[in-house]
Structure 1
Amino acid sequence: MSPEWISALANLMTGLAAVVAGWAGVRGLNAWRTEMVGRRKTELAEEVLAGFYRARDILTWARFPAPDDNDGGEDDRPRTGPKDEELERGEIFTPVDRLTKESQVFSELQASRYRFMAYFGEEAARPFEEIRAIHSEVIDSAHNLIRTYGQEPTGSEEARRNQWEAAIGWGEGDSDTLRRRLDLAVKAIEQTCRPLIEERHSTRRNGPV
């Protein structure tokens, strides 16, 4: 084989090596990007799911009846007089007070909404809207009950008052529609987040395939 052919062959092999190295580099870069995106999606899913669990617990607690001064007391007779009105107003406002103390949880949850939409899509982020709607409904209902306190409701006003009382957790029991809405919102976010979290944890346990 002539020196010219040997030189050409050497150049060809060098070129092929460069192509293979470049292809491997691009493939490695793509794999790294995929890994990073997957990791960020999983971390966001864990963060959001934990936020929804916390929001559910806080909203449940906010609507839990306020402590009664008569609990454990000797007199279970109905309270009457000006002090009763003060106590009842305080009980009405209890959900607002509790939610205000935990406002940072809801702010952080809503702050993650747009990142969640970017990774999982707008439809998957709808439970965020439901949590915000429930939060607003509880607060608005308490304010409306305070605003109309002492007024004698009639007709449609009575129905609205019943809705407001139901929203702050008064007398709902097994038919608590707001609690069902809250549970459905959490289940919806679980359907998006949990498969990704479980897949990631399974990969960590079993190692790369």
Structure 2
Amino acid sequence: MLDFISSISILIAALAFIAGVSAWKREFIGKRRIELAESVLALFYEAEDVIRQIRSLHSFEGEGSIRKRNSNELEEESRILDRAYIVFERHKKREKLFAQIHSMRYRVMAAFGTSAAEPFEELNKIICEILLAARMLGNNYWQKQGRVEMVSVDFKKHLEEMRSYEAVFWCMDEDKDKILPRVRKAVENIESITQAAFVSEDKDSILGDVINDIRNFITKPKKI
């Protein structure tokens, strides 16, 4: 009888220990998810502001002038290329931010699922499109504007394409801007994805996991 009571006491103590470990494990994982969510949200919020700064219509004296010039560039050509290079210069100053965001992609996917990659991919796509617009405007459209004779149809096409790139290159009015709504959508997506880290887990889910841990302990083959 005493052996039976002793065995029951040991079993109860073991089950209490397993339940405690299970609760601690869930709390630890939950805390890490919250910390990860807070970090990635802060970076996306910062990226939204930085993208606005990169695309700002206002420039400071000397911006774009660090671009390496070709020896045969004309002054007007240099001015156009420098203006387009402002975007590259601004991006260069904040490229560590975007590298940091990209480096968190797989951690966020591991914690919140593979669909979490979508806002990261969209943000990277947006940056690539802004830099492409700068390159196309500086090397092509702005160089031709008012300097290359075109027939009416070609000139109309030229203007449409140039304005399309400028809508990516510069911040526009909200109804015309091609980039800011997409950035805002990417931020909203990462908010939605990481929201799970801040929502209290269902008690039935917690209890279910504890019971599973206990069941695994009981059914685990014992060494003789």
With normalisation by structure 1, the TM-score equals 0.77
Say if 1:105 and 1:64 are closer, same or farther in 2 by CA, change over 3 A: same
Contact 2:129 2:168 in 1 (8 A): yes
Contact 1:65 1:91 in 2 (8 A): no
Say if 1:147 and 1:83 are closer, same or farther in 2 by CA, change over 3 A: closer
Aligned to 1:173: 173
How far is 1:87 from its partner? 3.4
1:150 paired with 2:139, answer no
How far is 1:67 from its partner? 2.5
> How does 1:96-135 map onto structure 2 within 5 Å?
96-135=88-127
The aligned amino acid for 1:67 is S
CA–CA separation in structure 1 for the residues paired with 2:188 and 2:29 = 24
Aligned to 1:164: 165
> How does 1:1-209 map onto structure 2 within 5 Å?
9-67=1-59, 85-148=77-140, 149-151=142-144, 152=148, 154=154, 156-169=157-170, 172-174=172-174, 175-194=176-195, 196-197=197-198
Say if 1:44 and 1:68 are closer, same or farther in 2 by CA, change over 3 A: closer
How far is 1:119 from its partner? 0.9
How far is 1:160 from its partner? 3.1
CA–CA separation in structure 2 for the residues paired with 1:147 and 1:100 = 19
Say if 1:41 and 1:21 are closer, same or farther in 2 by CA, change over 3 A: same
CA–CA separation in structure 2 for the residues paired with 1:147 and 1:128 = 29
CA–CA separation in structure 2 for the residues paired with 1:99 and 1:68 = 15
Question: 2:2 aligns to what SS in structure 1?
Answer: helix
Per-residue deviation, residues 47-66 of structure 1 (Å, max 9, x unmatched): 00001011111111000014
How far is 1:37 from its partner? 0.8
Say if 1:178 and 1:12 are closer, same or farther in 2 by CA, change over 3 A: same
CA–CA separation in structure 2 for the residues paired with 1:88 and 1:108 = 32
Per-residue deviation, residues 64-116 of structure 1 (Å, max 9, x unmatched): 014276xxxxxxxxxxxx65553333222111110111000000101001010
Structure 1 unaligned spans of 5+: 1-8, 70-81, 201-209
Aligned to 1:77: none
The aligned amino acid for 1:190 is E
The aligned amino acid for 2:125 is A
The aligned amino acid for 2:173 is G
The aligned amino acid for 1:150 is Q
CA RMSD of aligned residues (A): 2.3
Say if 1:46 and 1:159 are closer, same or farther in 2 by CA, change over 3 A: same
